[in-house]
Amino acid sequence: MKKIKLLGVLLFLFVGFLRGDTKYIIKFASVAPEGSTWMNVMQELDEIIQEKTKGNVKFKFYPGGVSGDEKDVLKKMKINQLQAAGFTSQGMGEIVPEVRVLNIPLTIKDEKEVDYILEKMTPYFEKQFEKKGFVVLGWPEVGFAYIFSKQKIDSIEAFRKIKMWIWGEDVLVNTLFKELGVVPIPLSLIDVMQALQTGMIEGVYGSPLSAIAMQWQTMTKYILNMRIAYVPGGVLINKNFWMKLPENYRRVILEETRKAFKKLTDLSRKENEQALHVLKKSGIVFVEITNKEDLKIFENVSEKTANTLVGKFYTKELLDEFKKHILNFRAKGR
């Protein structure tokens, strides 16, 4: 019976496509490559939404960064060439800088803290996005970022010798590196692999899963076994386009995207953990910084970076609220 029902749904959708009945096409961009967990979940979401809207709403995907870097995608969304996209905190911060408070290095320690902080703070962020003309469909995370490098990073001194990549003009990461004495090389995400191959850069940062997806592990030898920062993600849709959708379709999309992106976050967490094991098996060497003075420098730099960015990304009040949520969570001993 399940097979018959599935065939019926597929036939219905297929016939609808032939007739060109789809009323609303959501052009969706992502840096995630075709075949990745990210895009697989999006494909499943598309099928569900088509079924529940009787084929009147569907996605058209532009994966693998074919629509450009996140800044390029934002420009296209503003002129309605694209209607929706998945972003890291870098792209989201271009719209609502305050969201970068979640990126403060060496602050959020684990996934339980992430869930608690997002529960407290995302309602505020979503209001800010709406003011800027975007609706947040969900918060599928990228994960915790690590540093991958061609040379071993086992001290602050070794770190300073690495030709580190920075994603475009990322003020937050640039501030962190500046405080550590590292001079970064700014490049777009799509130029990173070539820069690693030519030796233009020697170090990159990202989640274990994204490093494998981008094949960075093939050009690096070491991973600094330290969660440098938490990297949230988000899916945005152009508000003008959103409001043109019938209310019942908006309700379906919101309901299904929230479920899909919760599933995606759960899968990403499992796969990031698995990716660490894959990296270790592939020969990537996990390196620790054990010198207490160097570890103290990292801790001090984290605090200094957070304070330096007050007024650039967020207010002191928002920073204090962020810290308060972390302290409250830890005080409960969860």
DSSP letters spanning 29-51: E-SSPTTSHHHHHHHHHHHHHHH
User: Kind of pairing, strands 165-167 and 185-187?
Assistant: parallel
> Do 80 and 241 touch, CB atoms closer than 8 A?
yes
Inter-axis angle of helices 247-281 and 37-52, to 10 degrees?
A: 160
> Do 103 and 230 touch, CB atoms closer than 8 A?
yes
The C-alpha atoms of residue 196 and residue 210 are separated, in whole angstroms, by 15
CATH architecture of the domain 2-142+232-275 equals 3-Layer(aba) Sandwich (3.40)
The C-alpha atoms of residue 298 and residue 242 are separated, in whole angstroms, by 43
User: Within a 10 A sphere around the Cβ of 164, how many other Cβ atoms?
Assistant: 22
Single pTM value for the model = 0.86
User: Residue 5: what pLDDT?
Assistant: 47
User: Residue 84: what pLDDT?
Assistant: 98
Same fold, 2-142+232-275 and 144-230+282-331: yes
Name every residue whose Cβ is closer than 8 Å to that of residue 11 and which is 6 or more positions away in sequence: none
DSSP letter (8 states) at residue 269: H
The C-alpha atoms of residue 270 and residue 273 are separated, in whole angstroms, by 5
The C-alpha atoms of residue 304 and residue 172 are separated, in whole angstroms, by 11
User: Residue 9: what pLDDT?
Assistant: 46
Residue closest to 167 by CA, chosen among 140, 129, 195, 130: 195
Tell me the per-residue pLDDT of 8-56, one tens digit each, with 9 for 90 and over: 444 444 444 444 467 999 999 998 889 889 999 999 999 999 999 999 9
C-alpha torsion 209→215→218→219, nearest 10 = -110
> Do 139 and 261 touch, CB atoms closer than 8 A?
yes
Q: What is the pLDDT along the chain (334 residues), one digit of tens a residue?
A: 544 444 444 444 444 444 446 799 999 999 888 988 999 999 999 999 999 999 999 999 999 999 998 999 999 999 999 999 999 998 999 999 999 999 999 999 999 999 999 999 999 999 999 999 999 999 999 999 999 999 999 999 999 999 999 998 888 898 999 999 998 999 998 899 999 999 999 999 999 998 998 899 999 999 999 999 999 999 999 999 999 999 999 999 999 999 999 999 999 999 999 999 999 999 999 999 999 999 999 999 999 999 999 999 999 999 999 999 999 999 987 6
DSSP letter (8 states) at residue 246: -
User: Residue 334: what pLDDT?
Assistant: 61
User: Residue 220: what pLDDT?
Assistant: 97
Tell me phi and psi for residue 150, to 5 degrees.
-80, -30
Fold of 144-230+282-331: D-Maltodextrin-Binding Protein; domain 2 (3.40.190)
> Do 80 and 238 touch, CB atoms closer than 8 A?
yes
| N-to-C CA span, the chain | 45
User: Residue 1: what pLDDT?
Assistant: 52
DSSP letter (8 states) at residue 162: S
255's tokens:
């309901």
User: Residue 332: what pLDDT?
Assistant: 85
DSSP letter (8 states) at residue 216: G
What residue segments make up the domains of the chain, in order of their start?
A: 2-142+232-275, 144-230+282-331
Could you tell me which residues are beta bridge partners of residue 234?
87
User: Residue 205: what pLDDT?
Assistant: 95
